[in-house]
Amino acid sequence: MTQEDLKNLPKIVEKFKKSNYPVALTGAGISAESGIPTFRGESGLWKNFRPEELATPEAFRVHPEIVREWYNWRREIISKAKPNPGHYALAELERYNPNFTIITQNVDGLHLRAGSKKVIELHGNIFREKCSRCNRIYNEPVYETLAYCDCGGLLRPDVVWFGEPVTSINEAINVALQCDFMFVIGTSGIVQPAASLPFYAKNNGAFIVEINLEPTPISDIAHVSLYGKSGEILPKIVNNLIKT
């Protein structure tokens, strides 16, 4: 953090303390700090695979075994990752203000593992299974190449694929419209519909704090933008909050 960033900490802390319904929108950046590859960037997973080949309903219908093998590989990677200080700092903010809610684009479940309870998983959770026929949810992953529901339908990861609606978006929009303070953390600001949430919040008077490695489209509307690792910045904010 720069000296200018440090000067903004008291303002951020004061705005958070006065907020009634603070929210955090998180993206792949916070998980990348736990060692989980992002879909974008130089080491992104999409560098090796085209998304339309693996993360669509059509791909699952044609090659379910390949799709499941890929997701099981991803699960193995994610299962070895641990929440980082950024995740734990957000969980601490919920303990400070029980109304604090996280809206995440990530499917890794790290916010829950860090202790956060009010989490809206926009894109689902990779460690859950869903029946492709009856939509029954299984809360534990099944690692077989092909796995079936009791109804006979093929199980698939309970994640939102390209071309599928984000079923929890209305809940997220309602939270964004209600909030009066929003962190926007580690997100590119270009993936819809999540990218619109900070704009909903800003238009309804929320104070926007962006934390990212580099500027994004959200930077144009943020009241404060802090450039650096969320695992370093968020604990500083929490420490300042606790001290005051």
Point out the residues that are catalytic.
123
CB 160 within 8 A of CB 2: no
Closest CA to 54 of 39, 32, 35: 39
Chain center to CA of 137: 20
CB 126 within 8 A of CB 74: yes
